[in-house]
Amino acid sequence: MNIFTDQLLAARSTMAFSLGFHIIFAAVCTVMPFFMATSHFLYLRSGEKAYPALTLMWSKGVAILFATGAVSGTVLSFELRLLWPNFMKHAGAIIGMPFSWEGTAFFLEAIAIGIFLYGWDKIPRWAHWLSGVAVGGCGTHFDPSKSDRAYMDLQISCCKPLQVTEKSSSFFGFVAQSKKVALAENVARCFP
């Protein structure tokens, strides 16, 4: 192999590491907002004093994982173009629109996280809870046949039989992964 091939292989291996790193944070950050919103909902319903502390703990985790996932996702978008130029020359037009929807969802999630983190005692209690639910959000459906205009159909996305099984399978896998993260955090607190 020549030096260019060696460097390209090293760079693509770095991208594989970046992708592996990013997918863990993305998966956990998909579920943690629902844990956060659930504990906040339980507090609003019962008024128990333990739930705000739990909600605050989950919200800190969501904020940290969201920021980490955002940075690693941004790196991945640059790596795609720089390290796979021939692929992106042909597939860029196909995957560009889903990436733009992901960017839109990212900004909406960032706004909802900001409202949730800084909205304590500043907005009505149930509106605050809804901002926590909005962080988790609902997936979007991209239809390539309608790529000439903006297209987003949440109802179809959530109700197609294949979408329901795919999303529920992913969601429960993410729940299992998030529970492991929470368990590891609690074990680390018990054994400093």
Q: How high is the mean pLDDT of the chain?
A: 75
Q: Round to whole Å and give the CA distance between 60 and 31.
A: 14
Q: Round to whole Å and give the CA distance between 92 and 87.
A: 8
Question: Is the model more confident about 191 or about 162?
Answer: 191
Cα-based angle 19, 23, 26 (whole degrees, multiple of 5): 135
Q: Is the pTM of this model over 0.85?
A: no
Residue ranges of domains in the chain: 3-190
- Is residue 180 over pLDDT 60? yes
pLDDT band for 158, please (50, 70, 90 cuts). Answer: very low
pLDDT of residue 163: 54
DSSP string, 3-36: HHHHHHHHHHHHHHHHHHHHHHHHHHHHHHHHHH
